[in-house]
Structure 1
Amino acid sequence: MTMPDTSRRGLLIILSSPSGAGKSTLARRLMAWDETLSFSVSATTRAPRPGEVDGKDYHFLDEARFKAMVRDGEMLEHAHVFGNFYGSPMGPVADAIEAGRDILFDIDWQGAQQIQKSALAPHVLSIFILPPSIAELRRRLESRAQDDAEVIAKRMQKSWDEISHWDGYDYVLVNDDLDATEAHLKTIVTAERMKASQQPALMDHVRTLQSEFEDSP
């Protein structure tokens, strides 16, 4: 099993896209490529469903606790959906980043904007996945055979709003070939891990080099 790289800080990797653009498939491939990657575990005020485990599937909180965490700045992002609150607790993500572990977020542009304004913004890598065409986006939604025509129509209506926020991301990939897009995604993550800002030990190393240089004859 691949071990976290404790010589660097972890990345908070955001993947966003309209439904059907391939985001979930790319996320799975990215995690298969590097087993140290993990999804952020969200918090919610809804009741657990049969088989769901607290801390694994969700952090299940009562509404008072959830709102207190939002008030105290302990949520990276949050939203109210169908009568329940959902959000991403900051603590576990901050701990992972300091331990050199990357955390993956599969969220929409609204959640991405909240995280990009948070205390962890310096460690955010945001990537938006675009479909090659609207016709192809519809074809992919229909070929999944998961939704009826009405649901697909709603997803298509929502897609333009999501696509219109493409320019709020660090990188944008057009997923016209899944294997090629996966390769680009891996290249981006590899390069971002090597940024000087993600390597806290560099300053000490440079000071050591300077000291050695000064002490040399």
Structure 2
Amino acid sequence: MINERDYIWGQNQKLENIDRSKLPEIISQGGYQIILIAGPNGVGKGMVIQGLLTRNEGVAQVSRITTRSITSDENQYHQVSIESFFESIDNGSFVEWGKYGQGYYGTTMGNIADALSSAKKLIIDIDLDGGLVLRNLFENIGVCVYDCFISPIRQNLLESEDGVEKALGELRRRLLDRDRGEVAKELEGRLRNAGQMLLRAKEFRHIIVNERDSISATVLMLEDIVL
């Protein structure tokens, strides 16, 4: 049986402990960009990313590994067993990895190399901790990194005294409207994780609002920052 305590979270690794020799050599040759997109469940990250990809042929999405069940339209993830996931940790395959909600997630050197074969601008849908690891790693080797947090409400509202509560109220409405058949326990779990993430939003350097039914405007705001 796998014991999580036997492992150091990849998200907490120090740069000197990451085997950077496994990074694709081409990325150090200049001209490459990494776009990190983080945000809570229900904020619309997937639609924003898809909008950016549709409008810009020179951007490719980096797929990630996960142990949670995925739907047929979640082609940004590759599902593996928990045993396979921890085997990849033992093999040193992950640049970053961690647990979010009920599943493990990670980004491998291979994931990055695959995306580099088709574009010089790479976009990664990631949690805050994993994003901070990747930001530090790539900036340390001279790669331009844009870290963007997607918020359901405007930044000035989010940073107000009851901003997180307002944001969670909006996320609750969106998750209920999405109607994936989630039971109340699952919904509350997602909102707890969202609350923790919203409190740390400013750890990313760019906060972009994705208001309800405003995907096109959000994509344009993202383009203004990263392109």
Count, aligned residues:
174
Shift of 1:162: 0.4
Which blocks of at least 5 consecutive residues in structure 2 are unaligned?
1-28, 154-165
The 8 Å contact of residues 128 and 197 in structure 2, kept in 1 or not, is answered as: yes
The 8 Å contact of residues 10 and 99 in structure 1, kept in 2 or not, is answered as: no
**Equivalence for 2:19:** none
Task: State the secondary structure of the residue aligned to 1:9.
Answer: coil
1:111 equivalent among 114, 122, 130: 130
Aligned partners of 2:125, 2:85: CA distance in 1, in Å?
A: 24
Shift of 1:185: 0.7
Aligned partners of 1:160, 1:86: CA distance in 2, in Å?
A: 19
Structure 1 residues 82 and 182: alpha-carbon distance in aligned structure 2, compared to 1, 3 A threshold? closer
Aligned partners of 2:65, 2:218: CA distance in 1, in Å?
A: 30
Shift of 1:93: 2.6
Structure 1 residues 84 and 188: alpha-carbon distance in aligned structure 2, compared to 1, 3 A threshold? closer
1:127 equivalent among 139, 143, 148: 148
Q: Which amino acid aligns with 1:151?
A: E
Structure 1 residues 140 and 64: alpha-carbon distance in aligned structure 2, compared to 1, 3 A threshold? closer
Q: Which amino acid aligns with 1:186?
A: E
Aligned partners of 1:92, 1:120: CA distance in 2, in Å?
A: 18
Give aligned-pair identity as a percent: 23
Q: Which amino acid aligns with 1:187?
A: D
The TM-score with structure 2 as length reference comes to 0.63
The 8 Å contact of residues 60 and 115 in structure 2, kept in 1 or not, is answered as: no
The 8 Å contact of residues 15 and 126 in structure 1, kept in 2 or not, is answered as: yes
Aligned partners of 1:84, 1:18: CA distance in 2, in Å?
A: 15
Matched, 1:66 2:85: no
Spell out, residue by residue over 1:125-150, the C-alpha distance to the aligned partner (whole angstroms, 9 max, x if none): 11001112432221111000012322
**Equivalence for 2:216:** 179
Q: What is the root-mean-square deviation of aligned Cα atoms in Å?
A: 3.3
Shift of 1:95: 7.9
Structure 1 residues 123 and 59: alpha-carbon distance in aligned structure 2, compared to 1, 3 A threshold? farther
Which blocks of at least 5 consecutive residues in structure 1 are unaligned?
1-6, 191-217
Aligned partners of 1:170, 1:151: CA distance in 2, in Å?
A: 30
Shift of 1:161: 0.3
